[in-house]
Amino acid sequence: MCHLSLGDDRGGKETVQTRVWHAHYPPQVPASLDYPAVSLNDLLMDTARRYPDKAALVFAQNTITYRELDDLVNRLAATLQQLGVRKGDRVALYLPNCPQMVLGYFAVWRIGGIAVPVNIAHVAREFAYQVHNAGATVALCWDAKWEQVQDAAASSGLRHVVLTGLEEFASRSWVSFLGVGTQGAPLDQGEGYAHGEIHVHRLQDLLRVAPAQMLPTQASPEDIATLLYTGGTTGVPKGAQLTHQNLVANAVQIASWLTRLTPGEETVLTALPLTHSYSLTMCMNQSVYRGYTQVLIANPRQLDDLLAAIDAYQITLFPGVPTMFLAVNQHPGVRTGQYQLRSIKACISGAAPLPREIQQEFQRITGGVLVEGYGLTEASPITHCNPLHGRDRIGTIGLPLPDTDCKIVDSETETRSLGPEQPGVLCVSGPQLMAGYWGMSEETANVLRRDRTGKLWLHTGDIAVMSVDGYFRIVDRKKDTIIAMGGLKVYPREVEDVLYEHPAVLEAAVIGVPIGGADQRVKAFIVLRPEAQVDEEEIRAFCRERMAPYKVPKYIEFRASLPKSGVGKVLRRHLAEEEKART
């Protein structure tokens, strides 16, 4: 075991310092942890030895055990080597949640490669940018996205595309070629064809003729495991380089926090896309580390399928986002008792603020515990979480995880530390911090900074407040701050929190207008609950009772829906772009 503690960030170790928040940790959670000095691939191999017949993946009512998953990873790893992938090479994964996505990650890691997940919502231009920027020459793609891949072919730099369909692992046809032990046939026996300069293959054809074993290779904990592209909602996407050490550490951190879950016995709902850092760590990596079963949901917007999976497979851990929990709360089948959700033990909400009303109603329906956490891709991603059992401070992101240090600094220079109850930029330090942005040294230097003692800090860009007893609350994104009359600052989230308290409001988002102006006013976009009726003046009167006059929305627009990212995060930037186009 390799001990990592605060400040052990590609430099020397230092003893963990006692912080005010440690006093509020659950009794079973220490301030500092031991982390295995292994790669993510090592985690899978170890779990396959410990739980060979345990269900690793459930997809479309079919099960893959850990032994079978390990065998399939071997075959895909050998296939990638035949396609020319070597240690350090990048491989794109353009897939929804399905067994092939999990196979893709671990096969790439088994041969020391770097996984580059691409959101399936991305169009050809976005796919081409990410693949070209990463320098990936091989991509494992969902065949339903082939049109986008073709459109991107000229500018992507790809040499091999491996296509696969969801139906391929919706049955157990793949079992026929496990354990065959072939020496490996030439790739042309995989029935591939050429599309321009790209060689196109079918995954099942390649697996059928692949060697059962790959050429020996080994990833070290310090090697880059994945490039996760972030910043698409605020600027040019940047590839956060997360090492095996980063991702293993974060899986261990969050597993230690979930104190009443038992290794080898839990079932996780993997509904958030595995292209997102939160799902990658919270669902996939934690499950492999702890020997949990993952139930993969390809399309979480098909809510009946999601609810049926919770009921059928007795889901115990449900990582999600507020819009997902809201949808569950409101589903008619949940209200009538059609779906049994009482198996749920724990839910962690991330990606966006968790309104109190959503949290309380979900807990009433399921009997499980739903708490808010916080993280960002650059931190693998989880840095904070409320205790599941103990003091959950509603409206906060909770406490820093073990071995995670935090401070609040002034938003003007980001150099002066602030005290409790003073809003400023949240900075975090710990073993989960990324190695930097891929090929972007200047952007890396902007967010990863060492203090005068040499300690490395990630400047998150989020405005936060720490209470006197160590609970943190996100006020808003620094870039989203509204500069109102006289230079007064309005944080959109505090206005949104008030709007969510109104019984007629289902969803709300707030921006400042005019866009980019020096003297802005608050504009609220509101989605009403079904059959609710309320006018602008009633909303304003409600707000006036709960906040200072300069924070009350001057403009209110009722809408049928709000623009959201792939994980359900409301995209204020899109609202701002729409507003700017009108002027």
Are residue 211 and residue 260 in the same domain, yes or no?
Answer: no
Quick one: tokens of 392?
Answer: 């959950």
Are residue 416 and residue 268 in the same domain, yes or no?
Answer: yes
The reported pTM is 0.84
Boundary of a domain, candidates 475, 501, 524:
475
Q: How many other CB atoms sit within 10 Å of the CB of residue 50? A: 12
Residue 509 belongs to a domain with what CATH number?
Answer: 3.30.300.30
**Best CA proximity match to 199, nearest among 73, 82, 74:** 82
Residue 287 belongs to a domain with what CATH number?
Answer: 3.40.50.12780
Structural contact between residues 315 and 283, judged by C-beta atoms closer than 8 angstroms: no
Q: What average pLDDT does this structure show over 487-499?
A: 83
Boundary of a domain, candidates 190, 219, 248:
219
3 state DSSP class of 101 = helix
**Best CA proximity match to 248, nearest among 2, 567, 11:** 2
Residue 350 resides in a domain:
yes
| Residue 8 reports pLDDT greater than 70 | no
Are residue 438 and residue 503 in the same domain, yes or no?
Answer: no
Structural contact between residues 359 and 372, judged by C-beta atoms closer than 8 angstroms: yes
**Best CA proximity match to 582, nearest among 484, 515, 512:** 515
Structural contact between residues 509 and 525, judged by C-beta atoms closer than 8 angstroms: yes
Q: What is the pLDDT of residues 94-125, one digit of tens each?
A: 999 999 999 999 999 999 999 999 989 888 88
CA atoms of 146 and 140, how far apart (whole Å): 11
Dihedrals phi, psi of 329, to nearest 5 degrees: -55, -40
Q: What average pLDDT does this structure show over 289-298?
A: 97
pLDDT at 550: 85
**Could you say which DSSP state residue 568 is in?**
S
Q: What is the pLDDT of residues 369-389, one digit of tens each?
A: 999 999 999 999 999 999 998
Are residue 271 and residue 412 in the same domain, yes or no?
Answer: yes
Are residue 163 and residue 272 in the same domain, yes or no?
Answer: no
pLDDT at 431: 98
Are residue 46 and residue 31 in the same domain, yes or no?
Answer: no
Confidence of residue 48 (pLDDT cuts 50, 70, 90): very high
CA distances from 200 to 141, 144, 188, 215 (A): 10, 14, 11, 23
Are residue 236 and residue 305 in the same domain, yes or no?
Answer: yes
Are residue 383 and residue 463 in the same domain, yes or no?
Answer: yes
Structural contact between residues 69 and 102, judged by C-beta atoms closer than 8 angstroms: yes
Are residue 196 and residue 256 in the same domain, yes or no?
Answer: no
Q: What average pLDDT does this structure show over 545-562?
A: 91
Domain count of the chain?
3
Boundary of a domain, candidates 440, 475, 510:
475
Are residue 387 and residue 517 in the same domain, yes or no?
Answer: no
Which domain range does residue 548 map to? Answer: 484-582
Residue 114 belongs to a domain with what CATH number?
Answer: 3.40.50.980
Residue 227 resides in a domain:
no
Structural contact between residues 513 and 555, judged by C-beta atoms closer than 8 angstroms: yes
Are residue 438 and residue 506 in the same domain, yes or no?
Answer: no
Are residue 32 and residue 47 in the same domain, yes or no?
Answer: no
